[in-house]
Structure formats: C-alpha cells, structure tokens
Amino acid sequence: MHTSTAFAPIMLYSDEAKAVHDALAASGYGALATMLASKAQRSEADKQFIAALPQLDDSDFDVDDEPVVSVSEEGAYIMVWRWVANEEAGVASQ
C-alpha cells in the first residue's frame, strides 16, 4: 500500500460521498465512482454519535478523528482507544 504525506485517508459521510461520486461519474471516471459508492457507508447518525463523545468523560480514552461507528436501534458503539498501564495489566515494566 502506497501512502503519501500529501494525502491522508479520510472517511466520507453519505452526502459528501455522493457529491464526489457524481463529480467522478460526470468526469468519465465511472469505475472509480462505483468503487467510492461501495465504500461510502457513513451516515448522519454516525456524525451525531461522534459529536456526542466530547460530552463524555474522556479521562479514560482517546478517540481518532474519524472513528469507526457501529449503530444499533438504541445507540452506537464508537471505537476508542483505552489506555491500560502495565501495572493494571500485571505486565512488568520494560
């Protein structure tokens, strides 16, 4: 996989992905537009759940700029990073 400092991965919400899709399709990049459409699965609800995270006590976790969100009927799981110290895990310090 090639990565560049000029282009960082991003996650698009459905309205953003549709705009990019339409522009690609209109420019003759139909195959790329189809690939984009198959990957664009973020929703407005995802954005709302992510926005609610700062309201929670974040002393026990960190969150990426664009976390993974798994929505259910009564809420959502949002992927966060939880710090576990060596002593909490019973691991000897290095």
* Binned average pLDDT, 10 residues per bin, the chain of 94 residues: 57 78 90 77 80 72 82 90 86 85
Q: What is the pLDDT of residue 91?
A: 92
Q: Which two tokens stand for residue 35?
A: 């690939």
Quick one: 25 and 15 in the same domain? yes
How many structural domains does the chain have? 2
Quick one: 51 and 19 in the same domain? no
Burial 47-84 (b: 16+ CB within 10 A, else e): eebbeeeeeeeeeeeeeeeebebeeeeeeeebeeeeee
Quick one: 14 and 4 in the same domain? yes
Quick one: 34 and 57 in the same domain? no
Q: What is the pLDDT of residue 62?
A: 83
Range of the domain at 34: 1-42
Quick one: 49 and 90 in the same domain? yes
